Structure 1
Amino acid sequence: MSALISAFTRGGDGPTIVIKDTIDIAGMRTTGASRALAETAHAQKHADVVQLLLDAKWKIVGKANMHELAFGMTGINDYTGTPVNPQDATRIPGGSSSGSASAVGQGLAEAALGTDTGGSIRGPAACCGVVGLKPTFARVSRRGVAPVESTLDCVGPFACDVSMIVETMAVIAPVFDKAAARKKVTACRIGIAQVDAQADLLAAVSRAPQHAGFSSQAIELAGLADAFHAGLAIINAETWAAFGHLVESGKLGADLETRLRAASSTTSDQVSAAECVRRSFTDAVDRALDSVDVIVMPTLPALPITIDDARRGVSVIAMSSLIRPFNLSGHPALSLPLPIEGSPLKAGLQIIGRHGADEQVCAVAAAFEAALAS
């Protein structure tokens, strides 16, 4: 299936980019790849990130497909179609920014914009074998992005290499320091987080710092599992607040309707408890980053399951166990393609940095990228 909901050309003669269908483009509907919003009013103005791209003469070449209403990890969408995973067409492309990752992986555009509320950039990037960056929370403007209110969501770029991630960030985050992001990193203290994941993925992550010539040490991230569950509680409450009214339309996909109805039961006490976890986990990550420059771990705990397995009901909630916590804490996190011994598929190396240190994350990622390619 196509990675794009619609193909068109708008803008100048600069790099090509596709825009996730939660991001407003003036004169077009922002439907969230949902039948329930198919007749929504056309956007009256561009989202800030779209305006910045057009001002910089980039060429928008389409609206990217996605998991309906950005509320799912598989990327499967029976209304707009499921974007192909360019690494393996039998496997899920990941959600919710499935079309953005797929489009870049297929070479339909040099870059793409997605959004990441619970791993929705990094998950698809890891599934599709491309680079995806969730910036520091609020580093990139969300004006003109659905849902309007979110304490977790971030707009960020996809590309086939870190260099294009840097180019995109330099446009959509005007104070982003491109020179710092391109600075050659020759020494770096890497903290390898001890997490539950597939053995071959953990082995690949452990080898990566040595390949890059970096020092590394094992670290424990206190509260990672609690942060995952807290992130779920908050995204459930905020997504229900934004889209719960659509349940009665009868136009939602069955999987999404089920998830929204479940989200409606999230209590204020659960949200309050989650906010306490947000504060404690954020502090824990900050403390860990006092002794290392970046933290690394697998992006996903396993390789993506097949579409058939997902349709048979195999649970995918654990897919976000290692990515969702950093939406809660707001730290910048990048997923870089990671070769796995004995597998034709690449997994994801997740690189987490200090708040506001998006440039350093990109610079370290570029060093890993060069080392892993050699």
Structure 2
Amino acid sequence: MSALISTFSLGGDGPTIAIKDTIDIAGMPTTAASRALADAAPAQRHAQVVQLLLDTGWKIIGKANMHELAFGMTGINDYTGTPVNPQDATRIPGGSSSGSASAVGLGLADAALGTDTGGSIRGPAACCGVTGFKPTFGRVSRRGVAPAESTLDCVGPFAREMRMIAETMGAIAPGFDRNAALKKVTTCNVGVANVDAQADLLASVARAPQRAGFTSRAIDLAGLADAFQAGLSIINAETWAAFGHLVDSGKLGADLEARLRAASATTPEQVSAAERVRRSFTEAVDRALDSVDVIVMPTLPALPITLDDARRGVSVIAMSSLIRPFNLSGHPALSLPLPIDGSPLKAGLQIVGRHGADEQVCAVAAAFEAALAG
């Protein structure tokens, strides 16, 4: 199925870009790839990120498909169709920004915008073998993006190379320094996080700093598992607040309806506890970044499962165990394609930086990109 829900041409003759269907484009409905929102009124104005792209001459080529209501990790959508994973059509493309990752991986667009509330840019990027960047929380405007209220969600770019990631960030994030984001990095102190993941992925992550000529050491990130659970509590509460009114519409996918109903059971006490974890984990990441320039780990703990396995009900919630915590803490985090010995598939190398150091994360990622391509 197509990575795009709709195709059209809007804007100038600059780079081409697809826009996830949670981001408003004036005159078009924002349906979040859901039958329940199919009759939504057309957006009255562009989301700020869309306006910024148009102001700088970019060419929008369509609305990108996605996991329904941006509330899922597989990218499977039986209403709008499931985007193809460019690396392996038998595997899930990842969610929720499945169409954005697929469109870039298939070469349909130079770049795409997605949103990342619990790993929804970095997860699909790792599945589809492309690069995806979640900026520092608040660095990129969410005006005109659904859901309107979120303490986790970020708009960010997908591309096939870091140069285009930097170009896209330069367009959508006023003040972003493209030159700094692509500045040659020759020295970097890398913290390799001790995490639970597939052995061959961990080995590839451990080798990456050496290949780039960087120094590295193993580090522990206190509270990572607790941050994952806390992130689930907060996304459940906030997604229920945004879309809970749709559960009785009879128009939601069965999986989505079940997840929303389960999310409705999130208690205020769980949210309060999650907020305490947010504070403690953010402090732990900040402390770790006092002694290293960036932290690296696999984006996903394993390669993506097959579509058949996902449809049979194999759990995918652990897919977000290494990415969701950084939505909670708000740190910038990027997933870069990572070669795996003996596999035709690329996994993801997640690079996490200090709050506001988005340009540094991109520059380090560009150095890794060059080293891993050799």
Does the alignment reach a TM-score above 0.5?
yes
Deviations 1:34-53 (CA, angstroms, capped at 9, x unpaired): 00000011000000000000
| Code of the aligned partner of 1:174 | P
| Code of the aligned partner of 1:65 | N
Distance in 1, matches of 2:189 and 2:304, equals 30
Deviation at 1:182, TM superposition (A): 1.2
Instruction: Classify the secondary structure of the residue corresponding to 1:249.
Output: coil
Distance in 2, matches of 1:150 and 1:238, equals 7
Deviation at 1:204, TM superposition (A): 0.1
Q: Which residues of 2 match residues 1-374 of structure 1 at below 5 A?
A: 1-374=1-374
Deviation at 1:179, TM superposition (A): 1.3
| Code of the aligned partner of 1:303 | L
Deviations 1:40-91 (CA, angstroms, capped at 9, x unpaired): 1100000000000000010000000000000000000000000000000000
Q: How many residues align?
A: 374
Deviations 1:231-276 (CA, angstroms, capped at 9, x unpaired): 0000000000000000010000000000000000000000000000
TM superposition outliers: structure 1 runs of 4+ over 2 Å: none
Distance in 2, matches of 1:340 and 1:205, equals 9
Instruction: Classify the secondary structure of the residue corresponding to 1:69.
Output: helix
Distance in 2, matches of 1:303 and 1:217, equals 25
Deviation at 1:15, TM superposition (A): 0.2
Deviation at 1:105, TM superposition (A): 0.1
| Code of the aligned partner of 2:216 | S
Instruction: Classify the secondary structure of the residue corresponding to 2:252.
Output: coil
Distance in 2, matches of 1:125 and 1:200, equals 19
Distance in 2, matches of 1:124 and 1:7, equals 21
Distance in 1, matches of 2:267 and 2:11, equals 45
Deviation at 1:178, TM superposition (A): 1.0
| Code of the aligned partner of 1:122 | R
Distance in 1, matches of 2:85 and 2:322, equals 21
Instruction: Classify the secondary structure of the residue corresponding to 2:197.
Output: coil
TM-score normalised by the chain length of structure 1: 1.00
Instruction: Classify the secondary structure of the residue corresponding to 1:348.
Output: strand
Instruction: Classify the secondary structure of the residue corresponding to 1:296.
Output: strand
| Code of the aligned partner of 2:177 | D
Distance in 2, matches of 1:103 and 1:243, equals 26
Gaps of 5+ in 1: none
Distance in 2, matches of 1:339 and 1:285, equals 26
Identity of counterpart residues, as a percentage? 85
Distance in 1, matches of 2:255 and 2:138, equals 30
| Code of the aligned partner of 1:30 | T
Distance in 1, matches of 2:331 and 2:177, equals 17
